[in-house]
Amino acid sequence: MPRIVPIVAAALTVGLVACGGRAESSDEAVDGRLLVVTTISPLTNIVANVAGELARVEGVVPEGIDAHTFEPAPSTAKLLSEADVVFLNGLSLEEPTLQLAIANAKEGARLVELGDTTLDEAEYIYDTSFPEADGDPNPHLWTNPRYARRYAELVMETLAERDPANTEAYRRNYERLASRLDELERLLATVTSSVPEANRKLVSYHDSFPYFARDFGWTIVGAIQPADFTDPTPRELAELIAQLRREGVPAIFGSRAFPSPVLEQIARETNANYVEDLRDDDLPGEPGDSDHSLLALLQFDYTTIVDALGGDSAELRSFDATNPTRDEARYPQ
């Protein structure tokens, strides 16, 4: 079970630092709403669905940018200095943004690393892209709807703590999103059962789906991208090709944002189908669209995976993946 840690304690564990008085230039100072800053778009979307119109939500990591290596612009420091709450995924995903937030947080702000609060260390997953020797576990919890639901719950609790007058509204918004995530979890179990058991094997550009795989009975065969985010060496490539031939993997999956000639080569040499358009953290559509949502991202990825590996994703395709609450967040593009 995920570890439940009080939000204040979670903020203190990352070393929240006060940096002086309240910034008077923020929208929050003008209209009384909280200013909430987030990092990657899946988190921004979760926060926006829980907050609704009651908070100003600002993302800082552009979609389609590698969150692991993203360096925030100096102007981001001003936004962080005005924020009432900063939500990060944590688990070492956004270290430059975390350090900038710590250095610039105003007095009384909350800094919450959702992944660190959700998982116990015993639940960490280490893999090709995130080896245990480096000490940083795989941070992609949002690709599992169970953990996305926990993220939303933590967001609801934090916003209610900072803005108690709107507690019931935050709870209603959370419950709408949680209900959709519960339904998505049920559908993922259904469509997984339609995939031949021998085909429930994932090979991808990046290790984005290990927490999904663990809960839904899939096997992660490997990822092409090593821990240093370079291409694999010729020896590593030869070993992976040999493994895929032994495993009989029918399809391998690339990233829409990061095309990989290496994956195309592997597909040719193993006679696997190459599917090149999975999404890690860039949402479908455009900001403001009803399907610019984490729900739609997960629906797209898992219908793509299930169909490519011989299953039937029809029930998942019919899932309503639109935002249950209007997403009014600002997404930097």
Please tell me the CATH superfamily of domain 7-123+141-183, with its number: Nitrogenase molybdenum iron protein domain (3.40.50.1980)
pLDDT at position 288: 94
pLDDT of res. 211: 98
Domains 7-123+141-183 and 192-313 share a fold: yes
Res 206: pLDDT = 84
Backbone angles phi, psi at 314, to 5 degrees: -55, -45
pLDDT, tens only, 237-280: 888 899 899 989 999 998 877 777 888 888 999 999 999 889 98
56: how many CB neighbours lie within 10 A of its CB? Answer: 22
Residue 303 is predicted with a pLDDT of: 98
Read off the pLDDT band of 13 (50, 70, 90).
Answer: very low
pLDDT > 90: percent of the chain = 71
Using one digit for the tens of pLDDT, what is the confidence trace for 39-98? 999 999 999 999 999 999 999 999 988 787 889 988 899 999 999 999 999 999 999 999
**C-alpha 210: how far from chain center:** 12
Q: Which pLDDT score is estimated for 228?
A: 61
- 312-333 residue pLDDT tens: 999 999 999 999 999 999 999 7
The residues facing 35 across adjacent strands are: 56
Angle at 174 between CA 168 and CA 178, to 5 degrees: 145
Binned at pLDDT 50, 70 and 90, residue 226 comes out as: low
CA distance 50 to 152: 7
Domain coordinates in residue numbering, the chain: 7-123+141-183, 192-313
- Residue 296 Cα distances to 155, 240, 259, 330, angstroms: 20, 31, 21, 18
- What lies within 8 Å, CB to CB, of 59 at 6+ separation is 37, 38, 39, 40, 41, 43, 44, 329, 330, 331, 332
pLDDT tens-digit series, residues 136-193: 999 999 999 999 999 999 999 999 999 999 999 999 999 999 999 999 999 999 999 9
Quote the pTM value: 0.89
Which architecture, in CATH terms, is 192-313? 3-Layer(aba) Sandwich (3.40)
Three-state SS string across the chain, please? CCCCCCHHHHHHHCCCCCCCCCCCCCHHHHHCCEEEEECCHHHHHHHHHHHHHHEEEEECCCCCCCCCCCCCCCCHHHHHHHCCEEEECCCCCCHHHHHHHHHHCCCCCEEEEHHHHHCCHHHCCCCCCCCHHHCCCCCCHHHCHHHHHHHHHHHHHHHHHHCHHHHHHHHHHHHHHHHHHHHHHHHHHHHHHCCCHHHCEEEECCCCCHHHHHHHCCEEEEECCCCCCCCCCHHHHHHHHHHHHHHCCCEEEEECCCCCHHHHHHHHHHCCEEEEEECCCCCCCCCCCCCCCHHHHHHHHHHHHHHHCCCCCHHHHCCCCCCCCCCCCECCC
Please give the structure tokens belonging to residue 81: 């200095």
* Contact by Cβ (8 Å): 317, 273: no
